[in-house]
Amino acid sequence: MTNSKYDSFVFTFFQSGVYVFADSRNMAKQMIIAVMEEDQKCPSRTAFAPQLISSLLKVGAYKRDVLEEPDWVMFFGTLLLAALLIFIFIIMIALISRKDWRQRFVPDIFYQIWNYKLIQRSDP
């Protein structure tokens, strides 16, 4: 159905086995169908299961081309980025604590001093 204009199709399975269907435009869209023998039952309670390693192993569908390898570059890149951000935050906290950015000199607030003097004069 690579060059057809149909959106769906119907197929009857006469033999047991594991069948892999994929979208020709997007190979990441896969569906794996395990057809059991007449005397066998599905290994899980539900007819549909996510494509996890455990569910694929239960129906005997584990193949190297079905399961994708982990993206180690993305994993270690993310790990390195997280470590770099933590290091930057530690440096920033160390600089702020060393700099001691507290206000050392508090200027006089003239309107408060003036009002205090007025209160002292009027206080009997």
Quick: pLDDT tens for 4-14: 677 777 778 88
The whole-model pTM stands at 0.36
Provide the domain count of the chain: 1
pLDDT tens for 71-95 read: 899 999 999 999 999 999 999 988 8
Q: Please report whether residue 88 resides in a domain.
A: yes
Does residue 115 lie within any of the structural domains?
Answer: yes
Residue 56 lies inside a defined structural domain of this protein = no
> Is 8 within the bounds of a domain?
no
> How far, CA to CA in Å, does 90 sit from each of 76, 80, 96?
21, 15, 10
The range of the structural domain enclosing residue 106 comes to 72-122
Give the residue carrying structure tokens 């494509």: 51
Residue 85 within a domain:
yes
Is 102 a domain residue? yes
Q: What pLDDT does 111 receive? A: 80
Which one-letter DSSP state was computed for residue 33?
Answer: E
Structure tokens at 51: 């494509």
The answer to whether residue 98 sits within a structural domain is: yes
24 within a domain of the structure (yes/no): no
Kindly give the parts of the chain with pLDDT less than 50: none
